[in-house]
Amino acid sequence: MIIFSFLARFFSTVFHPLLIPTYGFAIYLFGNRYLFSAYALPQKGFELFRVLLLTAFFPAFSIVLMAALKFIEHTNLRRREDRILPYIATGFFYIWAYVVYQRTQEPAVFQAILLGACISVFVGLLVNSLWGKVSMHTSGVGALATTAMFLVPMVSDNITWVFYTVVLAAGLVGSSRLALKAHTGKEVLAGYFVGYLSAYAGFAIALR
């Protein structure tokens, strides 16, 4: 029982929703060796660090600060009402990241990933306000699986195995959230649905 709890927490941590945009960038950067042959490894590392800073560190810091100031009960965001401010703060940083990448004329794929993340956050906020909690973890991995699906024919390397791995991870994350009793089955499925639609919309708009 302890090992299952450990694995559930492990997958929930490794595939934390704030890390998903960075994973999407990594798939494109390292799966497209010819397009990015001019990028030295340190440059790719800097690109990943930049998106990690904008989409993970700053939102995470703001959530920790909210908890410290008692604006929310806990950083795990178990309560539905605790999710509103973190959604808004994260959405702000995601919009910021999207604008940065758009104005610096970065590859459209990067813009698509970030736009999908923006849409996911604000759809999650809307659903949280009108219906109930949505699993942010399954929303994230759902979006990552959709991103990997789009990237398979777009990159030079054969990354079909990456897509299958992400789909497997998506299933494990959903099972983990249920095992930890963090969400109901409906909330987990709603998360997958939000993630898929958001990533699809992000690519459809950015690559039109």
Return the domain boundaries, the chain.
Answer: 19-206
**pLDDT for res 104:** 82
* Average pLDDT value for the chain: 90
Kindly report the backbone phi and psi dihedral angles of residue 103, in degrees, each rounded to the nearest multiple of 5, phi listed first.
Answer: -75, -25
**pLDDT for res 174:** 94
Signed CA dihedral, 191, 99, 53, 157: sign only:
positive
- Residue 40: pLDDT band (50, 70, 90) is low
Q: In the chain, which ranges are continuous DSSP H helix?
A: 2-14, 20-31, 41-52, 58-68, 84-103, 108-130, 136-151, 160-179, 185-206
Average pLDDT, stretch 91-106?
91
**pLDDT for res 68:** 93
The more confidently predicted of residues 104 and 18 is 18
The fraction of the chain above a pLDDT of 90, given in percent, is 69
Average pLDDT, stretch 174-196?
93
Average pLDDT, stretch 173-182?
92
**pLDDT for res 149:** 96
- Residue 7: pLDDT band (50, 70, 90) is confident
**pLDDT for res 124:** 92
Q: Which of 126, 169, 171, 155 is nearest to 29 (CA)?
A: 155
Average pLDDT, stretch 181-188?
91
**pLDDT for res 38:** 53
Residue 19 has pLDDT above 90, yes or no: yes
Average pLDDT, stretch 153-166?
91
- Residue 47: pLDDT band (50, 70, 90) is confident
**pLDDT for res 39:** 57
- Residue 3: pLDDT band (50, 70, 90) is confident
Cα–Cα distance for residue pair 173/170, rounded to 1 Å:
5
Contact partners, residue 73, CB within 8 Å, separation at least 6: 67, 79, 82
